[in-house]
Amino acid sequence: MRRFLFSQTSCSLLRRQRRPKDIPHRWFISSTSFSTAEYEDGDAFQNSPSKVKIFDRHLKRTQRARAAWLLRPNDSFVHAVAENLVDRLEDCKKTFPTALCLGGSLQAVRQMLRGRGAIQKFIMMDTSYDMLKLCKSSQRDSDNENIETSYVVGDEEFLAIKESSVDLVISCLGLHWTNDLPGAMIQCKLALKPDGLFLAAILGGETLKELRIACTVAQMEREGGISPRVSPLAQVRDAGNLLTRAGFALPGVDVDEYVVRYNSALDLIEHLRAMGETNALLQRTNILKRETALATAAIYDSMFAAEDGTIPATFQVIYMTGWREHPSQQKSKRRGSATISFKDIQKQFGNGS
């Protein structure tokens, strides 16, 4: 019997006030992908696949297909992230008639909509046909029966969506597996209509820090060296730069840290497999020695186990918000246009220190 104890801490780079919660094919075109691999400017990109190859996208598609069979219907962590992400729609006065959901926790996002954003048409896109088939089969159990839903097999790196065709692009725990994240975000921006909203949640660099430590120590002891076992992830400081580089207006970043407790390291690995979040590095070592795996579990338990015998696993989630530019949006004043000096304000209201 698996046991999960769930806790959460958060910090915000953009303070927001939360309000109490209240209970078709014309978009698709043949498209090439945009890569920013060789450009510093996000507006300059090339019509060719990404030259940056970090992840094995074919393997990730296979892992997503396997996750469709292992997916847990009531995953507290995944549902908490999806709820946190979708809840941002309640901070917006405008509606989003057409929404595109990319990979990651598709089913959880749809379950958490509950009328938010006044969405009328919902496009679900994933690299795995099995995952989409699961979402379609569970649609009858959803509370969003009035939403017209389409299912498309597609890749975030090759976004085959007509430009300026959707009002909302949302991705929950999916974009961190793209080889060219800035390029994928640029394509998301292009798919949005003017004043369209981009919402994304990705895993941050502090994710699974306990597992990284245990793997490193075990490999040094058993094999005399280390090989990458946990995928590299974006840091918090990079998130705002990614939004700006992709050309989004009014960028905002929030960071939440979730601590999930498991009975053992093996339960953690099973949970990662069920989420489709196992290692997909191109330079990974395909064989993990049995003694190294057992040593990792033992070290994890000895270093991090709580008094009740459970072990913690940290998941850092970075939430990103951005808008496609529109004349109605507020804009910063021209540099040097200020009429009041901060020194004068300090003299008037401060103590001069």
Neighbouring C-beta atoms of residue 18, cutoff 10 Å: 9
Dist. CA 152–CA 106, nearest whole Å: 12
Flag whether 42 is in a domain.
no
Please tell me the predicted confidence (pLDDT) of residue 39. Answer: 41
Give the pLDDT of residue 166. Answer: 96
Residue 170 within any structural domain of the chain: yes
Query: What DSSP state is assigned to residue 234?
Result: B
Residue 208 burial (CB < 10 Å; 0-12/13-18/19+)? Answer: buried
Distance of alpha carbon 15 from alpha carbon 3, whole angstroms: 34
Structural domains counted in the chain: 1
352: in domain: no
- pTM of the entire structure? 0.80
Any domain includes 195: yes
Which residue ranges of the chain lie beneath pLDDT 50? 1-4, 9-48
Q: Taking Cα atoms as reference points, which of 313, 311, 284, 291 lies closest to residue 218?
A: 291
pLDDT (tens digit, 9 = 90+) per residue, 290-319?
A: 898 999 999 999 999 999 999 999 999 999
Domain membership flag for residue 265? no
Residue 22 lies in a domain: no
Cα distances from 82 to residues 113, 173, 200, 245, 308, in angstroms, run 9, 9, 10, 25, 29
CA dist list (Å): 33 to 46, 64, 125, 180: 8, 21, 16, 10
CB atoms within 10 A of CB 104: 31
- Residue 309's alpha-carbon distances to 163, 259, 296, 302, 306, in angstroms, are 52, 15, 16, 10, 5
Bridge partners of 316, per DSSP, are 257
Q: Looking at the domain assignment, is residue 252 inside a domain?
A: yes
What is the rounded CA–CA span in Å between residue 246 and residue 303?
41
Residues 6+ apart with CB under 8 A from 220: 226
Q: Which domain holds residue 105?
A: 53-207+233-259+315-325
How would DSSP label each residue in 194-227?
Answer: EEEEEEEEEEBTTTTHHHHHHHHHHHHHHTSS--
Residue linked to tokens 């990705």 = 202
| pLDDT (0 to 100) of residue 130 | 94
Task: Tell me which residue has tokens 């304000």.
Answer: 345
Angle at 277 between CA 272 and CA 278, to 5 degrees: 80
239 phi, psi to nearest 5 deg: -65, -45
Residue 6: CB atoms within 10 A of its CB come to: 11
What is the predicted pLDDT for the residue at 116?
87
Tens digits of residue pLDDT in 5-35? 555 544 443 334 343 333 343 344 333 344 4
- 71: CB partners within 8 A, 6+ apart: 107, 134, 274, 275
Query: Tokens at residue 70, please?
Result: 């292992």
Measure the CA–CA gap between 137 and 148, rounded to whole angstroms: 15
Which domain CATH number covers 246?
A: 3.40.50.150
In a domain, 320, yes or no: yes
Q: In the prediction, which pLDDT does 6 show?
A: 57
